[in-house]
Amino acid sequence: MFCDKEFILILIYLFIVSHVYSNERQFSTQKRLQYKNHVKQMFYHAYDSYLKYAYPYDELRPLTCDGYDTWGSYSLSLVDAIDTLAVLGNNTEFARVYTLIQNLDIERDINVSVFETNIRVIGGLLSAHLLAKRMNVSVNSTWPCTGPLLDLAVSLADKLLPAFDTETGIPYGTVNLVWGVPIGETNITCTAGGGTFLIEFGTLSRLTGDPKYERAALKALKGLWSKRSSINLVGNHINIQTGEWTAYDCTIGSGVDSYFEYLVKGAILFRQPELIYMMNEYIKAIDAYMSDGTGWFVYANYQQGRKTMPLFASLDAFYPGLLTLLGKLDRARETLYAYHTIWRKYGSMPEFYNLAQHDCAQGREGYPLRPEHIESIMYLSKATNDDTFLFMAADIFDAIESCCKTSCGYTSLKSVKDHHLDNRMESFFLAETIKYLYLIFDEDNFLHSNGEYATEHQTSLGSCFLDTGYVYNTEAHPIDIGSLDCCTSSFIDEKSLNKNEKNLLTQEQMRWLGNLLLNQDKEELSSILKRNYSLLTCSSLTFEQRFSLYGEILT
């Protein structure tokens, strides 16, 4: 039994806690500005440390204050960071780096990852190319259809194209920059490695007028789709020559993630509703076989649908953002809340977490400063204007700042359980993690454009509109949607495609509609056509109507 004095003190304490908690549900403008500035300082500490201790190597080692090469000696952190400089509004440094990376040496006898070279280097070059005018870099009269970084991206893509010469159209995982596919290169690649090219390759085709890049990327995407099981699931590794799955577990994350991402973002960027249809079919299967009903998704056999491993992977954390792009906000919120409990438990996110044992998977306890969880927070924050997501982002910033900061940048963790430091700062920390954090707190950033206001740009083909909205590649390199209409009056034209190829595209569209007629009832079909097909294809609509990147595509 409490005495009166103790009882009164407890009541006062509870009142203070509840009052503070209720006030904390709103993230003040001042607090948002403070975190925006904190994130900017985080970027410059990491970026300046890379320049001082690691450049021209690919990555910084923050504990030993030196650098080393990882993905091809491209000065990768510099290429990955240039559009983050644009996000922060640093015109001077952007212009310096824009000039510097024009001299990247891609004529070397080395083997490189097709996937990583595409998303990091080609993606970074294209984004910087398309942001050049905004950043007051001098461009010629034929920009964005020409430019030194576009030329470099084209040359590099041409070196990757031999990887796509396979029976299925799904590319090899490695090429040599001089000789092409190495002798003896494995025929096995992961699903994400085969299906993550459309944003970059499609952008190249739209800017140059050469359809070969987009064709290759679409063929790979559809090659994977054609190999799905009877219950609409895919494995996570495939033989690119035979089309046989060699790893039978389906997951939304590791080994598969960006394949799903590019179906949705490719549909938005290139107005291809067929890709949205594919993703919706996958989502039905994912919900049926992989969901545990509480926000988590586990591994399942791609043929039988039985659950195989109760694992959460940190790469799964992109999925709430993808659901947000599709307008599935309630499901996205539920899943993100579940994932954030892991962050709150450890102050970071392990690579793998066993949901049955409620512990990190053995040997996969590390946190390499990944961005996916932050990416999803950004999308949901923008879609809902719910301050809860700002508090989540603040959680993440505070943890990284206190646990991962060194005198020479920010470092990965070997284990989230004891926060023992590793010695690596991957380039995606500058390209993605910090960029998404900054965008969460900078609500007026130009990348949040919804097409309400745009900049008219004159080209030899007429006028087009820039700053209409942006789609991020899987390395968070933003592509200006409107810029893709600047260089080709019609992507399907007499010069690029012959009569049979034009008819093939029409047949594909008819097949897509035919499948809907066979599988959907009349009311549902009408709804899908109204909300999906016309929304993504009608050129007379404004960009704001055609493209909403924050939860309005299918609402």
Over residues 143-168, the pLDDT tens digits come to 999 999 999 999 999 999 999 999 99
pLDDT tops 50 at residue 329: yes
Global confidence as pTM: 0.86
pLDDT tops 50 at residue 239: yes
Distance CA 140, CA 9 (A): 72
Confidence of residue 534 (pLDDT cuts 50, 70, 90): very low
The pLDDT tens digits of the residues spanning 49-94 come to 999 999 999 999 999 999 999 988 899 999 999 999 999 999 999 9
Is residue 397 included in any domain, yes or no?
yes
Question: C-alpha distances in angstroms, 242 versus 49, 228, 238, 246?
Answer: 46, 14, 8, 10
DSSP output for 487-541:
S-S-SS-TTT--HHHHHHHHHHHHHHHHHHHHHS-HHHHHHHIIIIIHHHH-TTS
Contact 88, 36 (CB under 8 A): no
Which helix (H) or strand (E) segment is 392 a member of?
Answer: helix 388-403
341 in a known ligand binding site: no
What pLDDT is stored for residue 25 in this prediction?
67
Is residue 392 included in any domain, yes or no?
yes
347: containing domain: 36-67+326-448
Strand-pair partners of 455: 466
Confidence of residue 537 (pLDDT cuts 50, 70, 90): very low
Residue of 245, 247, 253, 234 lying closest to 361 (CA atoms) = 253
- How many residues in the chain? 555
Confidence of residue 540 (pLDDT cuts 50, 70, 90): very low
Residue 290 has phi, psi (to 5 degrees) of -115, -15
pLDDT tops 70 at residue 528: no
pLDDT tops 90 at residue 30: yes
The pLDDT tens digits of the residues spanning 344-382 come to 999 999 999 999 999 999 999 999 999 999 999 999 999
Angle separating helix axes 123-131 and 148-160, nearest 10 degrees: 160
Question: Mean pLDDT over residues 512-536, rounded?
Answer: 42
Is residue 146 included in any domain, yes or no?
no
Is residue 56 included in any domain, yes or no?
yes
Is residue 341 included in any domain, yes or no?
yes
The pLDDT tens digits of the residues spanning 292-311 come to 988 999 999 999 999 999 99
Question: Across all residues in the chain, what is the average pLDDT?
Answer: 87
Is residue 487 included in any domain, yes or no?
no
What pLDDT is stored for residue 72 in this prediction?
86
359-360 β-sheet, strand order: 311-313, 352-354, 359-360
Number of domains into which the chain is organized: 1
CB neighbour class for 45 (10 Å; exposed up to 12, middle 13-18, buried from 19): middle
% residues pLDDT > 70 (the chain): 83
Residue of 129, 277, 143, 269 lying closest to 199 (CA atoms) = 269
The residues annotated as belonging to the active site are: 116, 257, 351, 372
CB atoms within 10 A of CB 226: 10
Is residue 239 included in any domain, yes or no?
no
Is residue 434 included in any domain, yes or no?
yes
